[in-house]
Structure 1
Amino acid sequence: MQNADELKKLVGEEAANLVKDGMKVGLGSGSTVYWMVKRLGERVQEGLDITAIPTSNTTAKWAEEFGVPLTDFSKVQQLDIAIDGADEVDENLQLIKGGGGALLREKVVAAAAKEFIVIVDESKLVTHLGAFPLAVEVTPFGWERTSTTIEKLGGRPALRHKDEEVFITDNDNYILDCSFDEILEPEALQKDLKMLVGVVETGLFAGMADKVIVGRADGVFSITK
């Protein structure tokens, strides 16, 4: 039986093989995306002509390491495809992302793509969202008050820390990991959260994914809208 890392490698490489010559590609973040970027680098060495926009500083380093040419939104307005992971995927292809803290850039890139493909192992498939805490990126100034307003929506926010320090995103913001138990109406919750002063973005990706590629012990399968 394949372990989780082997499944991530499987779906990452499967997604990388969907990229075609001349495409402008959005590169997501996270451990599954690592394998996708690595495979893309191999294809570039074989002659694939692409340019890519990374969603995090870490992904940018991987792309540079593996030889994937990078660009930015000053030169590119639309992407042909964006490929990213997820922390949860429900039956309607609604997502929770942000476990790695790159949710804002991930959402900008996904929104700029003609096709948004999500790559996960089968452990990420859920009946409904919410078991995984929802990341909400907030401004450092007044984060305490923003946290209180999120509580009024039914969430239980916790300020994210890493290595005993407050976690800082690539955009110099904080993240509140919010437990909502069950998120039965992701689009409504996304709207309510975005209306709060101090909230920059949330890890709810509602109605954005076009295809989910899933790795499981017996192989790879896809779910589409």
Structure 2
Amino acid sequence: MNQNELKQQVAKKAVEYVLNNVAKDQIIGVGTGSTADLFIDELAKVKSHIKGTIASSERTKARLESHGIAVFDVNDVVSVPVYVDGADEIDPEGNMIKGGGAAHTREKICASIADEFVCIADASKEVAILGAFPLPIEVVPLSREAVARQMRELGGNPIWRMNADGSPLITDNACHILDVHGLHITEPLALEIQLTIIPGVLTVGIFAQNAADVALIAAADGVNVVNF
């Protein structure tokens, strides 16, 4: 079974999870990325079960709306019963690195108002310690080099993320992304707090304050449900 088939498998399991655990006519949160895209496509088949969604990116909003699924402004929603999203890495405590899709700021906002964070991923995303995947940090453009210097002082190697055509990637929030290589994140919550207070940092891609409550992990033998 290839990775795309695993993602498809876990997307279907996530829709099943929503149907079994979320009352009818609720608003749910939807993340961003290739696995989240597949979840949206599966969710469209049962869209009558939900009232609508909140979206963690313009990409997700567009995909949801293309399926006729209502998207609400997060400012108009007090809470959601569940937020479903992927991860670039997830450790045994449910801490994650996210932001490979440059959407981690809005993902973190959506997760913060959810009663439950359900992480959907394939088994390749499971790690003992976070950091093999470069840590994304969304920064105000003016602060990019100042933040990069501080990352180097911490032993990281920050790389300014570019588009395929060589132009700087600009996030939905009109910011830049630094991908920090070479970190060995043994205390995710402490590092998340430390990096978040650096002037110019909008959001760091460590999800420890908003860690996963449940992980649906696709493997060759099926989807494993992990509760944290």
The alpha-carbon deviation at position 79 of structure 1 amounts to 1.1
Match of 1:214 in 2: 217
Report the equivalent of 1:18: 17
Distance in 2, matches of 1:3 and 1:179, equals: 27
Q: Which has the larger strand fraction?
A: 1
Q: Which amino acid aligns with 2:43?
A: L
After superposition, the C-alpha distances for 1:181-207 in whole angstroms (9 at most, x for unaligned) are: 311111111111012111111000014
Q: Which moved more, 1:167-176 or 1:14-23?
A: 14-23
Q: Deviations over 1:81-134 (max 9, x none)?
A: 100000001111110000010000000001110010000000000111000000
Report the Cα offset of residue 72 of structure 1. 1.0
Question: How does 1:179-194 map onto structure 2 within 5 Å?
Answer: 179-194=181-196
Contact 2:28–2:50 under 8 Å retained in 1: no
| Cα distance in structure 2, aligned partners of 1:142 and 1:214 | 37
What's the CA shift for 1:161?
Answer: 0.4
More helix by share: 2
Structure 2 Cα separation of the partners of residues 142 and 97 of structure 1: 21
Q: Which consecutive unaligned segments of at least 5 residues does structure 1 have?
A: none
Instruction: Work out the CA distance in 2 between the residues paired with 1:184 and 1:155.
Output: 14
Quote the residue 1:138 is aligned against.
139
RMSD of the TM alignment (CA)?
Answer: 1.1
Name structure 2 gaps, 5 residues minimum. none
Report SS of the residue matched to 1:114.
coil
Residue 161 of structure 2 corresponds to which residue in structure 1?
160
2:204 to 199, 202, 205: 202
Matched residue, 1:122: 123
Runs of 4+ in 1 over 4 A off after TM superposition: none
Secondary structure at 1:141 match in 2: helix
Q: Partner residue of 1:62?
A: 63
Q: CA deviation at 1:73?
A: 2.1
- For residue 40 of structure 2, the aligned residue among 37, 41, 62 is 37
Q: Which letter maps to 1:197?
A: P
Deviation at 1:29, TM superposition (A): 0.4
Letter in 1 for 2:13: E
Give the distance between the partners of 1:126 and 1:178, measured in 2 at CA.
Answer: 17
TM-score, length-scaled by structure 1: 0.95
TM-score w.r.t. the length of structure 2 is: 0.94
| Distance in 1 of aligned mates of 2:85 and 2:27 | 14
Secondary structure of 1:192's counterpart equals helix
CA contact (8 A) 1:42 1:66 kept: no
CA displacement at 1:17 relative to structure 2: 2.0
The CA deviation at 1:66 is 1.5
Taking only the aligned residue pairs, the percentage that are identical comes to: 37
Take 1:180 and 1:77, find their aligned partners in 2: how far apart are those partners? 38
